[in-house]
Amino acid sequence: MESCSPVQIDLTSRTSRAFGPLRGDAADAARSLIASARLAWAIEGNWAEPFFLLVYLIIRPLAFLGLFLAVLSIGGTLNPASIGFVVVGQAVFQIVGAAMQGPTHALLDDRERYRTIRYIFATPSSLLPVSIGRALVKALIAAISAVIVIGVGALIGMPMRAGGPDLPLLLVVMTLGLTSIVGLGIALGAVCVQLRNDAWGYPQAVAGSVFLLCGAIFPLDTLPRALQLIGAALPMTWWIEGVRRALLGTASPGLLGELSTPLLLLVLTVGTVLITLAAPRLFTIGIDRAREKGYLDRSTAS
Amino acid sequence: MAISTPAASAAAVEVSGVGRVFQAKGGSVTALHNIDLRIEPGELFGLLGPNGAGKSTLIKILSTLLLPSSGSASIFGLDVVRDTARVRRIMNLVAGGDFSGYGLLTAREQLAMFAQFYGMPYAEGMRRVDAQIEAFGITDIRDRKISALSTGQRQKLNFARSFLNEPWMLFLDEPTIGLDVSAARDVRERVRAFQAEQPGRTVLLTTHYMAEADEMCDRIAIVDHGRILAQGTPTELKRMVQKETLFIVGVDELPAAVSLGTLRELPGVISVVVRDADGADGNGVGSPVTRLAIALREDAALGGVISALAAAGAHLREISKSEPTLEEVFVQLVGRGISESDSEQAL
Ligand SMILES: Nc1ncnc2c1ncn2[C@@H]1O[C@H](COP(=O)(O)OP(=O)(O)OP(=O)(O)O)[C@@H](O)[C@H]1O
Ligand SMILES: [Mg+2]
């Protein structure tokens, strides 16, 4: 080590993006997102375990569907319309649950199970695209399950829209819905990463409550007034309603059904925009606070 | 091609007044008190201290994983609290002691993912991934799932990851813990080679292995209870506990013609004492040795002592230079050995 000749270090190029034709934050974020999505594809769709996938993607959602339909039949309200309502609700909620819990699970998995979060956090990449990439793949895999549930629904007499599904509406509703729910998931992740204990339980608890409030199985009208208002404020409520209209061709009975489809899309769009603006900011705040508390690389076990 | 920026002449690590307090259940814990530290570009700097000394806390702050409660720190002139994006481009870290990695990915896939997190285009990323796999001699496990790797293989992979962005500043927090002798040696060699490839690459290492610190580090800081107790080169630190040079000279027996007093009067000699004497055992196996501990002002004074002993007819059996170990330095400064806990000391 020659201390007499000061080392010349080219910090200017080293600290700027030195690589490749794609430059800029957006390109870096896209790279991280794709890399994380690949990872999620390998770990979530553990295709080497077909039995696990069978249970997770097919048996479990269908068992729940059977349960809900049984409840309807005991209550004497099993008819084609109610089957359609429940099938679509149960199918779309697979995706809602995955997208909403995805970012939290990615962060906690990386902190507690894989113990990689410190190494990812120490890269120039933000944890935001990393969490989004993981959540999107979880949602995609859940979508396979949703398609299966809908397929089974069609077999057991779910009334489909005359002339087939309204694909443009479906596409728009799915895009808006998924974006807003991943956004909520990001915000939830930002909260959970600041918790040391039982953080795993939170997204599940939130998803469970939302399930009851968003009209997935129980029409909003059957809820007490206060809960109806909460339900109406949730983007998944509108997402599921939009999918019902696209697939079944009919609006839900009651409150939600009174809204015209363009108005529904407007509500969903406004909600999505607000969430998309707020979620990354909340995420940054949450990660900063976790960094301050020292929870980023400290697992509950350590 | 080097562009001189203000940062280029900055210290590799500059820590001033850094403190860190954790809020824990039973009250607050001060992990670091007002630390000041400066590491020059190109150094391999060691942090040595017992459990809970605050070593990992300091590394976490410097590697942007944790915020300090007070003070400021920079890496090559870039503030670790505010300038995280740029710091992360020139820094990397490896921690030992826990399994990390995605069991379902192959070694190569995991490295490729990290290359992407560093913003490398795919081809460039894969080139570096393969180069590191080669450099660490883990080509055979390249396509093996992480879950099937041994501790040593995983840690080599972890090191390979840390070299992907060719960091200027590498933080190693007990990186060889749990590794066998040969894996630890491989890893140390890679770190040295990595530093040698490009002047200016700097390493901050924490370790519990005194020999590792002694062998690897240009300079060492000894820390305990969140404070730096001493810092310097290994030789400087050893000088702190032993100022003179000490030789152990063994003769078959001390001749009558020479007394300890006469030896003490020789030029350059500070002190001479009989350290121990081994007699021949009852079976006459082995022969008696008397060992003298001779403290000298400088090595050259030894010649006079040896000549005086030889002139008096003593038969020389052994000569060795006694160096204090870092362990001794540590015990003297910290008040206990590195593997003893606070409570043991209190007993
Ligand atoms: N997140 C945290 N919350 C509360 N206390 C913490 C936290 N992290 C560290 N500490 C405390 O701070 C002190 C310093 O811990 P640190 O991990 O830096 O020590 P260390 O020198 O790395 O020890 P070791 O040799 O055991 O790794 C310890 O008393 C530890 O209990
Ligand atoms: Mg430590």
Question: What is the residue type of B160?
Answer: A
Q: How far is residue B23 from each of residues A285, A295, B26, B28, B30, measured CA to CA in Å?
A: 19, 12, 8, 4, 9
What is the greatest pairwise CA distance in chain B?
81
The residue ranking higher by pLDDT, A8 or B172, is B172
With pLDDT > 90 as the criterion, what percentage of chain B qualifies?
60
Can you give the residue ranges of every domain in chain A? 26-297
Task: Answer yes or no: is pLDDT of B106 > 50.
Answer: yes
Question: What is the residue type of A237?
Answer: T
B109 close to B116: Cβ distance less than 8 angstroms: no
Task: Answer yes or no: is pLDDT of B122 > 80.
Answer: yes
Which residue ranges form the domains of chain B, and what is each CATH number? 13-239+329-334 (3.40.50.300), 243-321 (3.30.70)
pLDDT at A119: 96
With pLDDT > 70 as the criterion, what percentage of chain B qualifies?
92
Whole-prediction pTM: 0.86
For residues B271 and B292, give the distance between their C-alpha atoms in angstroms, rounded to a whole number. Answer: 10
Which residues sit opposite A242 in a β-bridge?
none
- Which H/E stretch holds residue A81? helix A80-108
pLDDT tens for the 302 residues of chain A, in order: 444 444 555 555 555 554 444 456 788 899 999 999 999 998 887 777 888 888 888 898 899 899 989 988 888 888 888 899 999 999 999 999 999 999 999 999 999 899 999 999 999 999 999 999 999 999 999 999 999 999 999 999 899 999 999 999 999 999 999 999 999 999 999 999 998 776 778 888 999 999 999 999 988 988 999 999 999 999 999 999 999 999 999 988 888 888 899 999 999 999 999 999 999 999 999 999 999 999 887 766 54
pLDDT at B3: 41
B20 close to B32: Cβ distance less than 8 angstroms: yes
Q: Which of residues 166-225 of A touch B (CB under 8 A)?
A: none
Query: Taking residues B223-250, what's their average pLDDT?
Result: 89
Computed over its alpha carbons, how large is the radius of gyration of chain A? 22
B51 lines ligand 1 (CB under 6 A): yes
| Ion ligand 2: residues, Cβ under 5 Å | B 56
pLDDT level of residue B167 (50, 70, 90 thresholds)? very high
Task: Answer yes or no: is pLDDT of B204 > 50.
Answer: yes
Coil, strand or helix: which one is B221?
strand
- Alpha carbon B295 to its chain centroid, in Å, reads 28
Place of tokens 């705040």: A285
Task: Answer yes or no: is pLDDT of B4 > 60.
Answer: no
**H helix intervals, B96-209:** 107-117, 122-135, 151-163, 181-197
Q: How far is residue B278 from each of residues A162, B126, B248, B292, measured CA to CA in Å?
A: 106, 64, 14, 12
pLDDT level of residue B80 (50, 70, 90 thresholds)? very high
CB contact under 8 A, A296 and B4: no
Q: Tokens representing B91?
A: 């820094």
Q: Considering CB atoms only, which of A2, A3, A119 is closest to B100? A: A119
Distance from CA of A302 to the nearest CA of B (A): 10
pLDDT at A157: 86
pLDDT level of residue B325 (50, 70, 90 thresholds)? confident
Task: Answer yes or no: is pLDDT of B282 > 60.
Answer: no
For residues A123 and A118, give the distance between their C-alpha atoms in angstroms, rounded to a whole number. Answer: 9
A186 close to A282: Cβ distance less than 8 angstroms: yes
B285 lines ligand 1 (CB under 6 A): no
B53, burial (CB in 10 Å: exposed 0-12, middle 13-18, buried 19+):
buried
For the beta sheet containing B91-95, the strands, ordered from the edge strand earlier in sequence to the opposite edge, are: B91-95, B169-173, B202-207, B44-48, B219-224, B227-232
C-beta atoms surrounding A248 within 10 Å: 23
pLDDT at B288: 78
pLDDT at B343: 46
Q: Considering CB atoms only, which of A16, A31, A291 is closest to B116? A: A31
Q: Which residues contact A275 (CB under 8 A, 6 or more apart)?
A: A179, A180, A183, A184, A187, A235
**H helix intervals, A3-79:** 11-15, 25-44, 50-53, 60-74
For residues B20 and B57, give the distance between their C-alpha atoms in angstroms, rounded to a whole number. Answer: 8
- Alpha carbon A221 to its chain centroid, in Å, reads 25
Q: Name which of B100, B101, B76 is nearest B89 in CA terms.
A: B76
A216 close to A240: Cβ distance less than 8 angstroms: yes
For the beta sheet containing B70-75, the strands, ordered from the edge strand earlier in sequence to the opposite edge, are: B27-39, B13-24, B70-75, B78-79
A214 close to A96: Cβ distance less than 8 angstroms: yes
The residue ranking higher by pLDDT, B272 or A21, is B272
Average pLDDT value over all residues in chain B: 88
Q: Which residue of B has its CA nearest to A6?
A: B9
pLDDT at A19: 46
Q: pLDDT per residue over B58-77, tens digit each?
A: 999 999 999 999 999 999 99
Closest residue by CA, ligand 1 atom 25: B51
Q: For residue A298, which ligand has an atom nearest its CA?
A: 1
Which residues sit opposite B204 in a β-bridge?
B45, B171
Which contacts (CB < 8 Å, 24+ apart) does range B301-307 have? Answer: B301/B266, B301/B267, B301/B268, B301/B269, B302/B247, B304/B266, B304/B267, B304/B268, B304/B269, B305/B247, B305/B249, B305/B263, B305/B266, B305/B269, B305/B272, B306/B249
pLDDT at B286: 60
For the beta sheet containing B245-251, the strands, ordered from the edge strand earlier in sequence to the opposite edge, are: B269-278, B289-296, B245-251, B316-322
Sort strands B269-278 and B289-296 into parallel, antiparallel or unpaired.
Answer: antiparallel
B29 lines ligand 1 (CB under 6 A): yes
pLDDT at B62: 98
C-beta atoms surrounding B67 within 10 Å: 16
Q: Considering CB atoms only, which of A116, A124, A293 is closest to B102? A: A116
Place of tokens 């430059």: A23
Q: Tokens representing A297?
A: 């690389």
pLDDT at A14: 56
Q: Name which of B36, B152, B159, B18 is nearest B81 in CA terms.
A: B18
Q: What is the ipTM of this complex?
A: 0.88
A178 close to A93: Cβ distance less than 8 angstroms: no
pLDDT at A8: 53
The residue ranking higher by pLDDT, B107 or B285, is B107
Q: Which residue of A has its CA nearest to B94?
A: A119
Place of tokens 């481009």: B89
Sort strands B13-24 and B70-75 into parallel, antiparallel or unpaired.
Answer: antiparallel
Coil, strand or helix: which one is A171?
helix
Q: Is B42 on the interface with A (CB under 8 A)?
A: yes
For residues A221 and A255, give the distance between their C-alpha atoms in angstroms, rounded to a whole number. Answer: 6
